[in-house]
Amino acid sequence: MVSMAKVDEKLHGIYQDVVKRNPGEVEYHQAVAEVLETLGPVVAKNPEYLERKIIERICEPERQIIFRVPWQDDKGEVHINRGFRVQFNSAIGPYKGGIRFHPSVYLGIIKFLGFEQIFKNSLTGMPIGGGKGGSDFDPKGRSDDEIMRFCQSFITELFRHLGEHTDVPAGDIGVGGREIGYMFGQYKRLTNRWEAGVLTGKGLKWGGSLVRPEATGYGATYFVNEALKVRNDSLEGKTCLVSGSGNVAIYTIEKIQQLGGKCVACSDSNGVIYHENGLDLALIKQLKEVERRRIADYASYHKDARYTANGNIWEIPCQVAMPSATQNEINGKDAAILVKNGCIAVGEGANMPTNPDGIKVFQDAKIAYCPGKACNAGGVATSALEMQQNAQRDSWTFEETEKKLEKIMVGIHKLCYKTAEEYGQAGNYVLGANIAGFIKVADAMVAHGLI
């Protein structure tokens, strides 16, 4: 069980009930604890939230959908996977959140992601609620036809729960433009409707938005740069680490380079590549986005680069760390090494990539620790911009869309910073993000009555 030592006494019972009602869902317990740790001052100031049991209601999803996904591989063998969609909270808009295909997916992972999504979406200022979905299907090594058959089977059940005014999924780990395309096609076939706003992350030729692939990485980098600005600093000239080598990591590296920083390492599930002179982004894009190869192959092209199988990227000295792979990839020991080696800022491109011990180390060291629910909100913000374009039957330029994204991320940073300041903890972005995100949703729930 997650330690609740820092949680206000009034909220202890709520957390204990969450654990009891959701046994074994450790990631979800961790996400709830992290939010409840910061809400004591809010409920003291607004006792109505406790009287109306807003926190208990916000911790209980409005709907949890679990279903069977049968599909056939290229050899004719039948496989059975499990699909999930947790429609967590629709107080400020339709459910919005990605779909993840990965063997680690189970209900607890989807609930932790959906719970985080409530507050992240609230921070964007866009009218979108929180949800998340996925399956324990592993897309690695599968042919395009196998991916298509799986996606079609997955959406054949899920489609009845979706809609541009109900629930709007996007991509996540294991789900990119290819998978969104197959799911959208099957949704259109089943409903006989061209409902562009029902899925985001679509192809540019059929309703997608420019900047969507870049949005999470770009947004996280903008947020970190703003956090450095308030300390009279910037990313210019900084040595950076970016874990992962998927969509989020690639475009984090790209924006860091554009802002004058130097990324020297990235990774995948097999190991770490270190290139002291700076990563060759064009090569990483070719290996990962085009050829779908492992990051180890990078060393074949650059003899001065070093690949370490099963290596720990956080042992490499840096000034800025951007965890962009998966949850709980930085523990207390990793965080201590980063701080010792001179790290001054951490920007979470992934969802909950730092465990509670790691967060404590960063906060005790007073570095600029930028939590995922604020820092990586650029992806869902640009998904909402895609929904706007779909609703208007319009398409914006790259420059126009990126300008809107930057404005949103600057606004999120400002909101988190000011909220933390208001509650007496200037620079605590965890507290600022949680409280600012919570209040907007809580007030909407109060306004809607007991539902």
On whether the CB atoms of residues 211 and 388 are closer than 8 A, the answer is: no
Length of the chain (residues): 451
Q: Contact, 89 vs 58, CB < 8 A?
A: yes
The answer to whether domain 63-195 and domain 215-375 are alike in fold is: yes
The pLDDT score that the predictor gives to residue 2 is: 53
Residue type, 175: V
Q: Domain residues of the chain, as ranges?
A: 9-58, 63-195, 215-375
Annotated binding-site residue numbers for substrate: 96, 117, 120, 171, 383
For domain 63-195, give the CATH number.
Answer: 3.40.50.10860
Q: Measure CA of the first residue to CA of the last residue in the chain; give whole Å.
A: 30
pLDDT given for residue 8 in this prediction: 75
Cβ neighbours for 210, distance < 8 A, ≥ 6 positions apart: 204, 395, 396, 397, 398, 401
Quick one: which H or E segment has residue 68?
Answer: strand 63-72
* CA separation for the pair 304, 204 (Å, rounded): 37
**HSE on the CB side for 79, CA within 13 Å?**
21
pLDDT tens column, 348-358: 999 999 999 99
DSSP string, 364-417: HTT-EEE-HHHHTTHHHHHHHHHHHHHHHT----HHHHHHHHHHHHHHHHHHHH
Question: Which positions are annotated as active-site residues?
Answer: 132
**Known binding positions:** 96, 117, 120, 171, 216, 247, 383
pLDDT at 84: 98
DSSP assignment, residue 4?
Answer: -
* Segments in the chain below pLDDT 50: 1
Binding residue positions for NAD(+): 216, 247
pLDDT digits (tens, 9 = 90+) for 387-440: 999 999 999 999 999 999 999 999 999 999 999 999 999 999 999 999 999 999
| Range 294-302 contact pairs with CB under 8 angstroms and sequence separation of 24 or more | 294/268, 294/270, 295/245, 295/266, 295/267, 295/268, 295/270, 295/271, 296/270, 296/271, 298/273, 299/273, 302/275
Place of tokens 């607890």: 108
Which CATH number applies to 215-375: 1.10.150.20, 3.90.190.20, 3.40.50.720, 2.40.110.10?
Answer: 3.40.50.720
